[in-house]
């Protein structure tokens, strides 16, 4: 099951939930204020292969460049 990150539009709390893929956008309540006005966020994740090399998924800024100014090593 994937872990999804959400943000509450009412109180701006950010939280994560482990949910089945078919539940990713189904109604969920904010654990802070109880609101159902929730937006799923785009999250960063990492994967690892058997040979111990890491493939990191790094978000890009709106202009397609690295979000950390090139310091993350993503070569964007």
Mean pLDDT score across all residues of the chain: 76
Is 72 within the bounds of a domain?
no
Q: Please report whether residue 20 resides in a domain.
A: yes
Which residues make Cβ contacts (< 8 Å) with residue 9, sequence separation at least 6? 35, 37, 38, 39
* Percent over 70 (pLDDT), the chain: 59
Domain boundaries, position 29 = 3-57
User: Quick one: tokens of 50?
Assistant: 């058997």
pLDDT at residue 1, rounded to an integer: 78
Q: Is residue 16 part of a domain?
A: yes
42 falls within a domain:
yes
pLDDT of 6 reads 93
DSSP-derived letter for residue 71 is T
Q: What is the pLDDT of residues 51-69, one digit of tens each?
A: 655 555 555 555 555 555 5
* pLDDT range class, residue 4, cuts 50, 70, 90: confident
CB contact burial 33-51 (16+ within 10 A = b; e otherwise): eeeeebeeeeeeeeeeeee
């Amino acid at each position: 099951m994937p872990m999804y990150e959400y943000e509450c539009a009412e109180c701006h709390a950010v939280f994560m939930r482990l949910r089945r893929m078919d539940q990713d956008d189904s109604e969920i309540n904010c654990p802070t204020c109880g609101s159902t006005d929730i937006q799923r966020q785009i999250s960063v994740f990492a994967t690892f292969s058997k040979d111990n090399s890491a493939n990191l998924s790094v978000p890009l800024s709106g202009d397609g460049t690295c979000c950390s100014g090139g310091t993350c090593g993503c070569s964007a």
